[in-house]
Amino acid sequence: RLLRGDVAKREGAWATWPRAGSSGPGSERGVSDSVHPLWESVDLVPGGDRQSPINIWWRDSVYDPGLKPLTISYDPATCLHVWNNGYSFLVEFEDSTDKSVIKGGPLEHNYRLKQFHFHWGAIDAWGSEHTVDSKCFPAELHLVHWNAVKFENFEDAALEENGLVVIGVFLKLGKHHKELQKLVDTLPSIKHKDTLVEFGSFDPSCLMPTCPDYWTYSGSLTTPPLSESVTWIIKKQPVEVDHDQLEQFRTLLFTSEGEKEKRMVDNFRPLQPLMNRTVRSSFRHDYVLNVRAKSKPATSQATP
Ligand SMILES: [Zn+2]
């Protein structure tokens, strides 16, 4: 089950954010119960019943043989720039035509790539938004796509049911990721909020794991306005990055030039309740069979 201490640590992520414009007594101690400006005007409980992120219980996910592999076709030439939006860094794509799209999987039609970004922790012990069997990963990649069949533009799609598809990929600690490094190398030039640098010709499918398996469920944006417009596709297999690459993420700042520097870390939303939702898996899993198979030798050993 959930480790209370770890969850409290994760959920206390914003505890040290200095209150915006604060100058009253105590502010110089740097201790405050305030939150990142992005979350300042948001209700604590948005009241929805399909909010994200969630913990995925592997054994509670339901295999759906109708879930076909996802088809990803991105045109590297549609990549535009990378910018620090004060909460993450976003790589944005030209999306006026169907050049970079995903289809298949749980989707009825094409969805166009708009941008991708990451969420990460202050240390390697946490940082992902979704968790699997309560396990946190140090970071999570989100590739955000919109439904250009039903909607005129990304902004409209983001507010409506079936408007968006986000592919989530867990990053885990391991070997150096050569393709990610090309992106990491741009980060020193977008250290401050609202800075942007050209980033041409990049195919984000190089950041995907090779295994086609995924979970899917209906959820929401994990930043305000938290709209319940997202079909989530969470890849089962994480990709490996090294500690230095995650450290480079942590050199970014939430703050603009001239403001008191605040490191961009712990930019994830706390877990939300599953409520009345089912997480479907594209892959067969034999959790119960494994438990039975493993318990057999133990039983025979206990027999004198
Ligand atoms: Zn995200």
**pLDDT (tens digit, 0 to 9) for every residue of the chain, 304 residues total?**
333 344 434 544 443 443 333 333 333 333 344 578 888 877 555 568 999 999 999 999 999 999 999 999 999 999 999 999 999 999 999 999 999 999 999 999 999 999 999 999 999 999 999 999 999 999 999 999 999 999 999 999 999 999 999 999 999 999 999 999 999 999 999 999 999 999 989 999 999 999 999 999 999 999 999 999 999 999 999 999 999 999 999 999 999 999 999 999 999 999 999 999 999 999 998 655 555 445 444 444 443 4
Q: 19: which residues sit within 8 A by CB, 6+ positions away?
A: 27, 32, 34
Ligand 1 centroid from CA 223, angstroms: 7
Q: What is the pTM of this model?
A: 0.85
Distance 143 CA to ligand 1 centre (A): 8
Distance 170 CA to ligand 1 centre (A): 12
Cβ atoms of 173 and 136 within 8 Å: the answer is: no
Residue 159 CA to ligand 1 center (angstroms) comes to 15
Distance of CA 119 from the midpoint of ligand 1 (Å): 6
Question: What's the gap in Å between 117 CA and the centre of ligand 1?
Answer: 6
Q: Report d(CA 167, CA 148) in Å as an integer.
A: 17
Rounded Cα–Cα distance for residues 171 and 169 (Å): 7
Cis peptide before 212 (omega within 30 of 0): no
Q: What are phi and psi of 201, to 5 degrees?
A: 50, 75
